A and B are shown apart, each in its own frame.
Chain A
């Protein structure tokens, strides 16, 4: 069983959204300012531009139809992926736009387009409800609008955000997630516009150095989700951290546990150690999995310290430049069935219902 928890469904042009946008926001889109040429997605631009482009260079779809065909051929079929969770692409950049109504309209259009264009094509593809987190009430509406569809398996926002996600400002989002029974996931992105703090100490200058440390804000979100008591309010909520690095988790948990033990009185609503909430409620996807020059045993030791056999879920990041190949994923061999599929089946409960007896057996095992 292989479940890919980060598989990007592209569009040939953001204009595919036009039929899905309401008339008012269609005018914004067609006549309003765009960050790039015709067909680019409205977002408040990132300070960092990838010098070679984000896509693997052997993947060059020319038409909308090609995007699915190439994904099927070069990824889903080639690696026998049982399920791939669609994480969109540019659409998560709606989180950078100041106007909450436009941002919410864009993600709503994206979600409807994704259902028609991607989920309808292939039962292996499962959807993420993209939200614009700067408008928590509108995000909650969108979660409730689509959250009962059996082919939607999580709620997704960019990791770039106006404030740490545990802040009560965002709690309407988690309330809605809990109501429809979906995990809340963040994916690397949304570094610009109203999300003014993607890098601590100010903007670094080069793409590679920035990409390597973009996990910084995910550290903030993990600490905040725990400290603010999100998992006391919604004990069954899973928080999934996608593409923000993995190997930093254990040292952060050690620090959180130590500081909490000294200053428990600040957050008396917590009933467990931060690391215990992490183990129960937080999951990380693997890509891009750190690769130490000094030997994989260093990585494995630190993955073990974050309960990696339970908390890690495979992701490829298809079709991006830092794609992880499922056949070459450097995790302990005895973890493979859990990290490649079983942990995701635990988190994405709906996959179990829509699944074959084979997958049901894998969960029980």
Chain B
């Protein structure tokens, strides 16, 4: 974990597909749950500054080989609310352009309390 943990919200307030936007150190942060783990991402898109974390938490179309498509990565992505770019919630990488990275933060949990480390 990097840095000091700052209280963000209750874990019970966050669920897959129901991320919570909080303000920490005057920065807007999206808190996400994927399979019982919690993740934090700056709610400012590196593409054009849109409200990245206010878009849907979702999966996406995956190359199934031979020009087939299957649905995968369920709940692992957030699609920016403005221009729809897909970002990996865990790493912040944009799927179509890995050079483009959203800022992510470590999250720790103590009981029902989530802490973001900056």
Residues of A bordering B, CB below 8 Å: 52, 56-58, 321-323, 325, 328
Contacts and interface: CB of A to CB of B under 8 A. Distances in A.
A321 B55 contact: no
Contacts of A58: 50-51, 54-55, 81-82
A157 B82 CA distance: 26
A325 B48 contact: yes
A57 B55 contact: yes
Interface string B50-91: 110011100000000000000000000001011110000000
A317 to B, nearest CB: 11
A56 B82 contact: yes
A322 B83 contact: yes
Contacts of A52: 79, 84
Interface of B: 48-51, 54-56, 79, 81-84
Contacts of B83: 321-323
A67 B55 CA distance: 19
A322 B82 CA distance: 7
Query: For the complex, would chain B's binding face be called helix, strand, loop or mixed by DSSP majority?
Result: loop
Contacts of A321: 82-84
Nearest to B58: A52
A57 B54 contact: yes
Given A321-B83, A323-B82, A328 B48 contact: yes
A328 B48 CA distance: 7
A89 B79 CA distance: 24
Contacts of B79: 52, 57
Which 3 pairs between the two chains have the least Cβ-Cβ distance? A58-B81, A57-B81, A58-B54
Contacts of A328: 48-49
Contact of A56 (B49, B56, B81): B81
Nearest to A293: B97
B89 to A, nearest CB: 16
Given A52-B84, A57-B79, A58-B82, A325 B54 contact: no
Contacts of A323: 50, 82-83
Given A58-B50, A323-B82, 18 more contacts: A52-B79, A56-B82, A57-B54, A57-B56, A57-B79, A57-B81, A57-B82, A58-B54, A58-B81, A58-B82, A321-B83, A321-B84, A322-B83, A323-B50, A323-B83, A325-B48, A325-B49, A328-B48
14 contacts: A56-B50, A57-B54, A57-B56, A57-B79, A58-B51, A58-B54, A58-B55, A58-B81, A321-B82, A321-B83, A322-B83, A323-B50, A325-B50, A328-B48
A323 B48 CA distance: 10
Nearest to A52: B84
Contacts of B51: 58
Query: Which of A58, A321, A325, A328 has its CB near the most chain B CB atoms (within 10 A)?
Result: A58
Nearest to B52: A58
Nearest to A321: B84
Contacts of A56: 50, 81-82
Nearest to A58: B81
A325 B54 CA distance: 17
A58 B49 CA distance: 13
Nearest to A50: B84
Contacts of B82: 56-58, 321, 323
